[in-house]
Amino acid sequence: MEGDERGYAGREATQGRFEKSPSQTLESNSQSEALESNSGPGTGNVPSSASDWFDTTPVGVQATPTSVLPTRLMRLGALPWYECWTGQLRTEKKSVHTIRAYTVAARDFSMTALPDEDEIDWTEAQTIPVRIFHERADPSFGRIDAWLHGLGEMKPATINARIAAVSHLLNWLGHSIPEWVQRPARRRPLPRPLGRTEVLKVRSAALRMEDPLAHPIVTTMLDTGLRVSELCNLDVDDVDHEDLSALVIGGKGEKDRTVLFTKATTEAIEAWNPIRALRQKQVEDEDSERALFLSSRGRRINPRSIQKLIDRLADEADIPRSRLSPHTLRHTFATGLLERGADLVTIQRLLGHASIATTRVYLEISDQTLREIYHRVQRLPELPELEVDSSVEAELESEYIEAPAPTIRQD
């Protein structure tokens, strides 16, 4: 920027946080004088509404509802929009991964240039003051159209995620996503849980592997349905071996919940504890000292390490790597509960879903499972005629005779 064009931040700093520009002040003063002359005593020209007293729209310019910065953002008008917006995301308890994904979409949107504009880089774009970025992001100016045109080659799921991020940004600025913006329809793929044979292969392979983490991790995920991030954040004190439960603190959406497990999970964790005690001697930070699962270097395990472990496990179990992932184990846990008669509300609470609509996807039972259930029922023997023991029949009859007849009150 040369001369008086010193960038968005410099221009806003000169203007001041709450002050108007000189041109705005002259327009406001001239309109105030005209308003006083036209609405003075005896003129009869009284404004029709209170908003007319504060209308500062220049003559010949059509005002739009989205041109006014929301009152809640007035005090932030001179601050960088990106810093303020990400602060709002953190206030809403958005995860680090969600904030990162939202930033990618907001970065591309803020850098999109219209035909009559110069292109800017991300360093400059994220320092634009809130007041100026509010005008820049106004959907009526066509920037969102130009941005959407650049998403055509992406997958429907990616496009939906980008639109969701920019919708959040526009709502925060006081705008709204135009109604004509249509999110591409996508067929949500159903989860493919492991079959019974595959589960046995995975459990057997986990016992054979040299990595001592394989068995406790696989057993814990299959018995609890924990997300991989929740498994990594599990501390020693969170597990109650007597109650056969574990407390998940700060799960997805910063929600806490209790998960249940079996005796096999307790045995797997107890077998892991001696190895954990050896690795704990290498621990250098307080966070890893509390962790239930430690790497060979004495650090709390991370999702990437678990994914690599699962890949090696798939090779050991002779299962394609594409069929086995930490999320596959979670799907297998949920589908197993459904097949054994658990209701959706119970599964929702155990999985930690915020909406039961997310859990409802498990209603789709695989074709193979449907066939197994059908043939198993068809092989059941015919039910014999119901016979009631004479002593039970006499007891029921006596209860019927001894039961007092209901009395009818007559008023």
- Per-residue confidence (pLDDT) for residue 362, from 0 to 100: 66
Of 235, 354, 350, the closest CA to residue 286 belongs to 235
Q: Which of 252, 279, 300, 331 is catalytic?
A: 252
- Per-residue confidence (pLDDT) for residue 196, from 0 to 100: 87
Q: What is the pLDDT of residues 338-356, one digit of tens each?
A: 888 788 888 888 888 888 8
Domains parsed from the chain with CATH numbers: 1-23+66-185 (no CATH), 196-373 (1.10.443.10)
Element (H, E) at 220: helix 214-224
Query: Is 327 known to be catalytic?
Result: yes
- Per-residue confidence (pLDDT) for residue 117, from 0 to 100: 84
- Per-residue confidence (pLDDT) for residue 35, from 0 to 100: 37
Task: Judge contact between 199 and 140, C-beta under 8 A.
Answer: no
Query: Is 375 known to be catalytic?
Result: no
Q: What is the pLDDT of residues 160-179, one digit of tens each?
A: 888 889 999 999 999 887 77
Q: Which of 143, 168, 330, 331 is catalytic?
A: 330
Q: Which of 215, 227, 279, 300 is catalytic?
A: 227
Low-confidence ranges of the chain (pLDDT < 70): 1-67, 184-191, 250-254, 362-411
- Per-residue confidence (pLDDT) for residue 133, from 0 to 100: 93
Query: Is 362 known to be catalytic?
Result: yes
Helix axes 367-378 and 326-339, enclosed angle (nearest 10): 30
Element (H, E) at 358: helix 356-359
Instruction: Please state, in angstroms and rounded to a whole number, the distance separating the CA atoms of residues 353 and 252.
Output: 9
